[in-house]
Amino acid sequence: MRIIALSTLRAFWTSSPAYADSIEPVMAWYREVLRADWATLNEVKGQFSSASILRDGRVVFNIAGNKYRLVVWINYAYRVVYIRFFGTHKQYDAIDAQNI
């Protein structure tokens, strides 16, 4: 899969020293998704059973034991994952994951 945009993740963990603990878990997710070749939501769930499936290709991943949330939009036909949001669980609760 192609992932757009790593800069969103980097901007988060560089925004505060308190978020430095997110680097390793989110980069582990990043490396795993780069090797993936998802054609359906079921394949995502097969690889990440704790992922939450939303409408219209949106998926929410729990990162670092659910301390962080990652919202993506997946274009299965082109094998592209677009990062829409990455933040703490509290920050996630303040957004509309379906429309961000």
Q: Which tens digits make up the pLDDT trace of 22-38? A: 999 999 999 999 999 99
Q: 15 near 91, Cβ under 8 Å? A: no
Q: 72 near 81, Cβ under 8 Å? A: yes
Average model confidence (pLDDT) across the chain: 94
pTM: 0.93
Cα separation, 24 vs 38, in Å, equals 23
Q: 9 near 24, Cβ under 8 Å? A: no
Cα separation, 54 vs 89, in Å, equals 17
Q: What confidence score (pLDDT) does residue 100 get?
A: 85
Q: Which tens digits make up the pLDDT trace of 66-99? A: 899 999 999 999 999 999 999 998 999 999 998 8
* Helix, coil or strand: residue 60: strand
